Structure 1
């Protein structure tokens, strides 16, 4: 799949087929703001979150930015609503109340574009040089719709580099509608709902592209992935080759991959062509740890070609949603090496697509979990298993 990326993006750029290639960019200079009396930067509706992030990045002592209830949208075309790279490492972004971050702005978006009303590629971007000290928590992230802008103007979300491994290709620009994570980037994402995002080719919710620098994982906990879509792989979370993530107490519901033709792999190298991909896709040489997560009502649960990745105490239940084009049956888990799948419960059309899961360590024909409206299982058989909503 990786081998055809450069050809795809060069071809696409030459023909000018990437939507949103023109348009103004957000200014590179932001108003310097000061922390308030409580020692925290505060952002309220009508104010710039990025300005606060820039101010916190420049302050050696105050790193917390608190965003108050409201909807925050981009004011101009660009590559991200908010972004973090090496100079922003250590900034902590918190939501206070219901805070919606969206890629959409109907007032200035091109109403004739397929990407309408989105005007940025990614809602949130984490770039090279970000450690686990950089975090976001408590947000609702939505509105991405395959808007792809390849020119930066004055908005540089990721500095150029001479590192040949970290060159910006199609996946940098187009994957990760909700959140894009690129390079030596290991942020912490928690208590966040990522919903109603679409990306093509991959990663409607989150795309992780560490490009082999996967010694540390992206940490994702207490998050909800709902109704995200993508044309090919990983509708909720796409863990690209040589990347790493931990997913703890997360809910995946209503996500659909394979909504269109796979234009990356080509007919000579189809990826999961028969049965399609899951809400979570893990590519070869990538590492994930999935603990106490619930996958339900998705177009497939998860597909994983990594080296013995760990899935524990998780629920895969009725991932039979329609919406993709793959001709084969739906499945709960398609894992190449299932030796570290333990304590999980499965129920659906095909629980174990490859027959690699140890039935003595898991339940492959589980009873109905009897989910409530928040997808908490009411059945006693599911004690300690799967996602549980966290009180704020």
Structure 2
């Protein structure tokens, strides 16, 4: 096992574990770890790192920003990265990220391949980085054939330059397995466009088990993005904390969405939503003509045993009312978003200590 303590270099330990024939486990001990220079990512795991298990021991913070001399973030002296953690092509489910808090990502500043490149250069068209490679995924960017297991993370207070304020998944149709999120909290993440917490770009696949999505906000920069990049998506109502693009698929079980600017928008086919609570996802700055909503799902055939209420519950009218509670009453959350209402014992997120 490889150990990393405060002020030491996590990436060096990841590289050593990747080269080791005896141990692939990197244990990072309590402290805050931040970038020392502006670059693509604080930590990167590509094909050579497949099988590395990166786990936190105690309160470990991975920050996307190192503040300037005055100690305040948001200054011209900030050291920033495009993504706090990057998972590249060739990562299987044997690669694990567990137990960290990831915070402080700000819109990236690096838009060309560093030397050596973050993602090894490929002649395969699907693996040539584009705009979304750089601008999306403040906390975590997942690219190409990449299916890590991400467990027990708190992803909070991150912002990206375009989409996926928390996480961006860009499989480009190359996935063999889904990215797996288990017992993760997505809180207070922001992006000007789609998927304020998690964005599944076209041809991507992910599963979410016992995850909490709360107070994530997107959509606030759509007018600017249309002017600058010619991009427009869900212009009337905006996108959700979780955005699933066409040809992508999500499986969501026992999760909770509350206080976000919209819950879920899913334009894919075959997604599954089970035992999940959507409640008062009504944050908005008024810049979209339409009201915020809980669920905007084109193919709702996989939506079962969900509790949906607090506003516009079913934007498209696709949800089977006989299989779900729509326009549902208050689930009566406690301070950690456990529903206290009788009958909801098997629905929604529960903190790990439960």
TM range (shorter): over 0.9
CA contact (8 A) 1:297 1:320 kept: yes
Mark the CA change 1:114 to 1:237 in structure 2 (over 3 Å): closer, same or farther: farther
Is residue 306 of structure 2 the alignment partner of residue 344 of structure 1?
yes
Instruction: Name the structure 2 match of 1:290.
Output: 252
Q: What is the distance in 1 between the residues matched to 2:225 and 2:124?
A: 24
Alignment of structure 1 residues 1-392 onto 2, 5 Å? 40-107=1-68, 117=78, 119-262=80-223, 270-323=232-285, 325-391=287-353
The answer to whether the Cα contact below 8 Å between 2:140 and 2:168 also exists between their aligned partners in 1 is: yes
Work out the CA distance in 1 between the residues paired with 2:286 and 2:38. Answer: 30
Asked if 2 retains the 8 angstrom alpha-carbon contact of 1:118 and 1:145, the reply is no
Q: Distance in 2 between matches of 1:315 and 1:294?
A: 5
* Cα distance change of structure 1 residues 54 and 300 upon mapping to structure 2, 3 Å threshold: same
Tell me if the contact between 2:310 and 2:329 (Cα under 8 Å) persists in the aligned partners: no
- Structure 1 residues 297 and 156, CA gap change in structure 2 (3 angstroms): same
Q: State the alpha-carbon separation in 2 of the partners of residues 325 and 114 from structure 1.
A: 28
- Displacement after TM superposition at 1:113 (Å): 7.1
Structure 1: where are the runs of 5+ without partners? 1-39
Q: Matches of 1:276 and 1:247 in 2, distance apart?
A: 22
Q: Return the alpha-carbon distance in structure 2 between the equivalents of residues 361 and 112 of structure 1.
A: 47
- CA shift in 2, pair 1:167/1:324, >3 Å: farther
Tell me the CA shift for residue 115 of structure 1: 8.0
What TM-score comes out, normalization by structure 2 length? 0.95
Distance 1:369 1:271 in 2: 31
Q: Which secondary structure state, in structure 2, belongs to the residue aligned with residue 184 of structure 1?
A: coil
With normalisation by structure 1, the TM-score equals 0.86
Change (3 A) 1:114 1:337: farther
1:170-197 CA deviation, whole Å, 9 max, x = no partner? Answer: 1001100000000000001000000111
* Alpha-carbon contact 2:310-2:330 (below 8 Å) kept: no
1:114 to partner: Cα distance: 7.8
Please report how far the alpha carbon of residue 116 of structure 1 lies from its aligned counterpart in structure 2 after TM superposition: 7.1
Report the count of equivalent residues.
353
Give the CA RMSD over aligned residues: 2.1
Shift of 1:165: 1.2
2: CA distance, partners of 1:297 / 1:345: 15
Structure-1 separation of matches of 2:205 and 2:46: 18
* Greater fraction strand: 2
User: What are structure 2's unaligned runs of at least 5 residues?
Assistant: none
Deviates more, 1:138-147 or 1:112-121: 112-121
Q: Could you tell me how far 1:119 is from its partner in structure 2?
A: 0.9
Judged with a 3 Å threshold, the aligned counterparts in structure 2 of structure 1 residues 51 and 307 are, in CA distance, closer, same or farther, namely same
Could you tell me how far 1:269 is from its partner in structure 2?
6.7
Q: Is the 8 A contact 1:85 1:130 kept in 2?
A: yes
